[in-house]
């Protein structure tokens, strides 16, 4: 089997739900978004990752605060692109209407081909229209909620708007270990089976966000467990490693990680054996 591609992701907004394990790993660099990007980029290049994902993870603010926040995001993306030495993914908030506003604010800053994520059934027409006149051949992550029929339908609808199949990545919206990974695993398997049976509407690479999903789990960010659960740092990294490894076995082609140690372990140890 071919080895998957890896990306390293970091969020623009650090809130109370952000894991203390990741805060401790990155240290004070997280206080400045551009410094953090440079640190993530350097680590990604060191580990052999193919891209950095910049996660615009804000909730939609009140109307009178949107302009200021969108201006901030434009300036951040400008500086990131100036400092980038690696492929960039723009990962939007996953709130359908707010994502249209974010991308609308960012689109004329973009000066190269990027990966744009996620595109959903609720906003695919708006997001694809915003980039339809671009001279750059962007790649789009199409997200549907753990349903192979919805996945195929969104692929078809997006292609009907003019998107090339080569510009599509499939995001089956999976969970992590202990939080629904079995459903995501089975959908990835079914997509791979359909692809191998000649279904061209499912013959696109599958991308999974192992880092984001793993750090939603309380086990990866809370010390409120019995000692038998082990120390938090080891547990958090193992949660992501186990999630990513399982999804690679299922057939994922692109894996987005949050903790560099998890990326290193899955890429350098697990995948080297699996992909020989």
| 131 CB-near residues (< 8 Å, 6+ apart) | 103, 107, 116, 138
**Over 90: is that where the pLDDT of 270 sits?**
no
pLDDT of residue 80: 98
The pLDDT tens digits for 147-201 are: 999 999 999 999 999 999 999 999 999 888 877 888 889 999 999 999 999 999 9
Nearest to 169 by CA among 207, 132, 208: 207
Which of 174, 239, 244, 130 shows the shortest CA–CA distance to 140?
130
Structural domains for the chain: 5-274 (3.20.20.20)
Rounded average pLDDT over 128-132: 93
Length of the chain, please? 276
Model confidence at 1, pLDDT cuts 50, 70, 90, reads: low
Mean pLDDT of 3-21: 93
Mean pLDDT to the nearest integer, 47-69: 96
Rounded to whole angstroms, the Cα distance separating 130 from 117 reads: 14
More confident residue, 270 or 164: 164
Nearest to 271 by CA among 248, 255, 252: 248
Give strand ranges (E) for 192-251.
Answer: 207-208
């Amino acid at each position: 089997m071919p080895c998957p591609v890896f990306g390293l992701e970091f969020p623009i907004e650090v809130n109370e739900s952000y894991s203390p394990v990741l805060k401790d790993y990155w240290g004070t660099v997280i206080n400045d978004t551009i410094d953090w990007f440079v640190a993530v980029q350097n680590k990604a290049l060191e580990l052999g990752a193919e891209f950095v994902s910049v996660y615009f993870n804000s909730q939609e603010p009140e109307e009178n605060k949107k302009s200021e926040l969108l201006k901030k995001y434009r300036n951040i993306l400008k500086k990131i692109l100036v400092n980038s030495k690696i492929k960039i993914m723009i990962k939007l908030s996953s709130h359908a209407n707010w994502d249209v506003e974010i991308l609308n604010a960012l689109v004329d800053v973009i000066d190269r081909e990027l990966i744009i994520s996620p595109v959903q059934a609720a906003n695919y027409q708006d997001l694809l229209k915003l980039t339809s006149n671009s001279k750059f051949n962007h790649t789009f992550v199409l997200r549907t909620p753990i349903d192979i029929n919805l996945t195929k339908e969104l692929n078809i609808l997006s292609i009907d708007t003019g998107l090339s199949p080569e510009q599509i990545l499939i995001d089956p919206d999976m969970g992590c270990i202990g939080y629904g990974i079995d459903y995501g695993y089975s959908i990835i398997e079914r997509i791979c089976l359909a692809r191998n049976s000649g279904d061209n509407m499912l013959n696109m690479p599958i991308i999974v966000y192992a880092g984001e999903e793993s750090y939603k789990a309380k086990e990866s960010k809370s010390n409120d467990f019995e000692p038998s659960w082990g120390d938090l740092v080891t547990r958090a990294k193992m949660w992501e490693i186990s999630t990513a490894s399982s999804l690679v076995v299922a057939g994922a082609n692109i894996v987005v990680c949050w903790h560099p140690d998890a990326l290193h372990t899955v890429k350098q140890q697990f995948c080297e054996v699996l992909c020989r």
